[in-house]
Amino acid sequence: MKKVYGSAKEALEGVLFDGMLIASGGFGLCGIPELLIDGIVESGVKDLTVASNNAGIDGFGLGKLLATRQVRKMMSSYVGENAEFMRQYLSGELELEFNPQGTLAERMRAGGAGIPGFYTKTGVGTVIAEGKEHKDFDGQTYILERGIFADLSIVKAWKADETGNAVFRKTARNFNPPAAMCGKVCIMEVEEIVPTGSLDPDTIHLPGIYVHRLIQGEHEKRIEQRTTRPRPDGATRKRETA
């Protein structure tokens, strides 16, 4: 089965449709599938529900899809540095389903494992628990969370072989593996595709069985927040949004 495609546009062909649920890997600007996001922007598909920890920043990453108003609903845990995300949510233009970070990751992982729901203590007694089933186990109250079964997963890896066995670099392991697992179709972009069999099996973070399509490309390495130590003259630390 052919998995390697020449571009994001080719890999996304025949997969996108209006109103679909997309699970996106990454955290902020770390490990985000920026080439595939650009391809979705160019496709013009609309009314999307996107499950992702956050939506990048204004004008980059998933922020591009917010700017073009292609997203109807976000399933996230963090609004972050994205002013447009905040504006659309507060104005009622964008639906937002808040999830604790660990719960969101587990919902994706559960979907990939075929688990329709699970109980967790996280969120009990807060607005997160409103409208959800409560159940007691050993004297403790838990709430029912549903697994996420996405129409499409878009993720980014550092390196993969031609069958899709993938290695994620450092913090990019946060949401990419569970996001990849929960999609009916998973498209992965990587910095480097290597020959099949060249990766040490013990270093593989995601088995290729989860990956249906694969592209290689150049990526822009932005820094979302830069923090520096105080200067000798006592000046305060500088924080920048890149």
Q: What is the pLDDT of residues 180-197, one digit of tens each?
A: 999 999 999 999 999 999
Pick the CATH number of 8-115+147-225 from 1.50.10.10, 3.40.50.720, 1.10.3720.10, 3.40.1080.10: 3.40.1080.10
Spatial separation of the C-alpha atoms in residues 153 and 76, rounded to whole Å? 15
Residues of the chain with pLDDT under 50: 238-242
Contact 116, 147 (CB under 8 A): yes
The pLDDT, as a whole number, for residue 217 is 86
The pLDDT, as a whole number, for residue 239 is 45
The pLDDT, as a whole number, for residue 240 is 42
The pLDDT, as a whole number, for residue 225 is 67
Spatial separation of the C-alpha atoms in residues 130 and 125, rounded to whole Å? 8
Half-sphere exposure of 149 (CA within 13 A, CB side): 7
The pLDDT, as a whole number, for residue 81 is 75
The pLDDT, as a whole number, for residue 96 is 94
The pLDDT, as a whole number, for residue 165 is 97
Q: What is the residue extent of each domain of the chain? A: 8-115+147-225
Query: Strand pairing of 117-120 and 140-146?
Result: antiparallel
The pLDDT, as a whole number, for residue 29 is 82
The pLDDT, as a whole number, for residue 94 is 94
Q: Rounded to two decimals, what is the model's pTM?
A: 0.89
- Per-residue b/e over 172-193, b at no fewer than 16 CB within 10 Å? bbbbbbbbbbbbebbbbbbeeb
